[in-house]
A and B are shown apart, each in its own frame.
Chain A
Amino acid sequence: MRLSYREALNQAMSEEMARDPSVFLMGEEVGHYQGAYKVSQGMLERFGERRVIDTPIAECGFVGVGVGAAMVGLRPIVELMTFNFSLVAIDQVINNAAKVRQMSGGQFKVPIVIRGAGGAAHQLGAQHSQSLESMYTYCPGLKVVMPATPADAKGLLKTAIRDDDPVVFIEGELLYGMQGEVPEGEHLIPLGRGEVKREGSDCTIVAWSKMVHLALAAAEELERKHDLSVEVVDPRTIKPLDEEIILRSVAKTHRCVVVEEGWSFNGVGAEIAHRVQRGVFDELDAPIERVTSLDVPMPYALHLEDLVAPTVPKVVAAVRRTLYLDGGK
């Protein structure tokens, strides 16, 4: 079935809510407004106000309330308008959701999904444009999922809802309208299993969420203009990470570029680069390259915004560096 990313997410939640009465959705404007990005379209009508809950504007409120409900067996899906505002709820996410099971000696579990839009859209400035996955993967106790396609969005969200641990589910703000083929019904993708999004032999690009599409565009250009064959690997879940699929690809191509929308310092790409050099050091024919955002808060002015974020030319240049083209620059 052809669906948009937003419809695929909606289908995942709706199917899980129909299957399991303990699942419910809560957040700012998820009911009557149908979600800031219209992900919960029609759900209030279908499931009623007890299970599709509009809350006051208080992120630490609804995440905290969700943790409490989860501790006694409900399965809350908490929608944040954007992950930027998860920072208002950070104590509930990191100090509580992530640690309740461990601190209670396993007596309480917190099967919550915290989901919403992440990454930059266009011209939304410093407080609306952040990629925070490395912050969540840094903290023990959280699973972090970042789908790039409608099919992955559905399959991963269904699995995340059934998972017994807190899952941080970061959606691409610019992907909601993207169309793709989505399997009907019981389509479940295990957390921790990546996918090769494009096969190739000269270099591996590792990318997730929106960056997968940037990597694919770069791969196409590299093939068209430079006759290079690039493989694109999408881990899909950042934690747990499918290390194997990345190592297998790099062992084949001998080169690796990690593209992420976030900042470079302590970025997910740093961890992936470490694992690649540890796992397949002898297979590498060039230093691992990274493409990230510039280490500054996002500006508003369009010409500056374009400079900050990863772009196709930056990815193309990084791949060519791993192949010592352009005089090794």
Chain B
Amino acid sequence: MAHPVRGAIALPGPDDPALATYRVLDERGVADPARVPEVAPAEWLRMYRGMVVIRTMDERLMAMQRQGRIGFYGEARGQEAAVIGSAAALGPDDWIFPALREAGAGIFRGLPLTAYVAQIMGNAHDPGKGRQMPCHEGTRASKFVTMSSCIATQLPHATGMAWAAKIRGDKTVVAAYLGDGATSESDFHVAMNFAGVFRVPVVFVCQNNQWAISTPSTAQTAAPTIAIKGRAYGIEGVRVDGNDLPAVHRVMRDAVEKARSGGGPTLIEALTYRLGAHTSSDDPSRYRDERVTDEWKARDPISRMRNWLLSQGLLDAAGDEKLRADVDAEVRDAIAAEEGVEGPPVHSLIEDVFAEVPRFLEDELAEMTGSGS
């Protein structure tokens, strides 16, 4: 049987969405009213709160890392709008494949804060049973897949999961996050190509935070934008201001709707900036000009959203203060509840390697712990 022929791929025009950067809010939080997507007031506030949760959690956990209370941490400071604006456009049955900086998306859709903290501590309450480094959370119940440390390997999985939805004929959409560095790995290209060829309901969200550890995104690719890479695979590419929550939400919502209705995949590039270090093991002042970081601090996604909410009368100063105090208490409570919880039991070492624990692993464990002899 012959392959179906699709329409020819158009060349980029001057206002190609893969080259321009879509914006709703300016840097002070003033909106272009024609571009604000329709969203219920409570939902805007929920998204705002989601951003504040990320900021609060990151600050608290980074401080704990410096005090030696946790081993490692990777924060998302400055990228909160890209995370929440996109995640909020997904339905409860849609799946998320996170990269390193999307914990906030998981929490936004139901991953309990305590479970997140338990994962970071690697304690007995961790849904991942103390198996992975901090910030590699995942809960199937929240349709939030456990993160893989290897850059970009989640992307073909996302295409495959979306393909499964197509085969089963359900309406699930899959969102896969990645960083700018991940676009160099082969798995990115494979995932994009397959997604394009098979027109599966997947949305790739690249958080272009302009750094991959010490490598700037300009050293990662010679293409003018990341969104333009979609074109080579027959996938629509859209670049959006990643520090502009309504803008991210709008392009993501369009992409999710298109995917759900059979229109195929989209590559969204959310242009943002990694305000902090790559992880707690890194010191960015050694390789980048922190004056640029300060410029990006002035484009802070949370203040922009806050200003807009205040200007629309959706939030007032007292309400904001209360929201922040509530979030702060929640984060403190989660940490207090999880710190000091004992580690997973020894026998868990040999569980989940296979569906059933094989005899040879029982024997090997017994030999190793001396409990058998």
By the criterion CB–CB under 8 Å, are A57 and B215 in contact?
Answer: yes
Q: Provide the bound-state CA to CA distance between A61 and B72, in Å.
A: 29
* Contact string against B for A residues 287-303, beta-carbon threshold 8 Å, 1 for contact and 0 otherwise: 00000001111011111
Q: Provide the bound-state CA to CA distance between A293 and B88, in Å.
A: 43
| Min distance, Cβ B231 to any Cβ of chain A, angstroms | 19
Across the interface, name the chain B residue whose C-beta is closest to A326: B373
- A173 touches B (CB below 8 Å): no
The residue that B133 contacts in the complex, of A125, A304, A317, with Cβ under 8 A, is: A125
By the criterion CB–CB under 8 Å, are A123 and B150 in contact?
Answer: no
Given the complex, which residues of B lie within 8 Å of A275, measured CB to CB?
A: none
* Contact string against B for A residues 57-100, beta-carbon threshold 8 Å, 1 for contact and 0 otherwise: 11111000000000000000000000011011000000000000
Q: Provide the bound-state CA to CA distance between A329 and B72, in Å.
A: 40
The residue that B186 contacts in the complex, of A60, A126, A297, with Cβ under 8 A, is: A60
- B307 touches A (CB below 8 Å): no
Given contacts A28-B215, A296-B350, contact A57 B220 (CB under 8 A): yes
Interface size on B, residues (CB 8 A): 46
* Contact string against B for A residues 15-48, beta-carbon threshold 8 Å, 1 for contact and 0 otherwise: 0000000000000110011001000000000000
The residue that A57 contacts in the complex, of B122, B148, B184, B361, with Cβ under 8 A, is: B184
By the criterion CB–CB under 8 Å, are A302 and B343 in contact?
Answer: yes
- A56 touches B (CB below 8 Å): yes
Given contacts A56-B221, A125-B149, A294-B364, contact A300 B122 (CB under 8 A): yes
Q: Provide the bound-state CA to CA distance between A136 and B209, in Å.
A: 36
The residue that A33 contacts in the complex, of B122, B213, B221, with Cβ under 8 A, is: B213
Q: Provide the bound-state CA to CA distance between A129 and B370, in Å.
A: 24
Which of A61, A303, A314 lies at the interface centre, i.e. has the most chain B CB atoms within 10 A of its CB? A303
Q: List 20 A-B contacts (CB under 8 A).
A: A29-B213, A32-B287, A33-B215, A56-B219, A57-B184, A58-B186, A88-B186, A125-B132, A127-B149, A264-B364, A294-B350, A294-B368, A295-B353, A295-B360, A300-B122, A301-B122, A302-B343, A307-B368, A308-B368, A314-B368
**B residues at A contact (CB < 8 Å):** 71-72, 122-123, 129-134, 136, 148-151, 153, 181-182, 184-187, 212-215, 219-221, 286-287, 343-344, 346, 348-350, 353, 360-361, 364-365, 368-370, 373
The 4 A-B residue pairs with the shortest CB-CB distance in the complex, in nearest-first order: A301-B130, A56-B184, A33-B214, A127-B149
**A residues at B contact (CB < 8 Å):** 28-29, 32-33, 36, 54, 56-61, 84-85, 87-88, 123-128, 264, 294-297, 299-304, 307-308, 314, 317, 329
With A88-B153, A296-B350 given, can you name 12 additional A-B contacts, CB distance below 8 Å? A28-B215, A32-B214, A54-B215, A56-B220, A61-B184, A125-B132, A127-B150, A128-B133, A294-B368, A296-B349, A301-B123, A304-B344
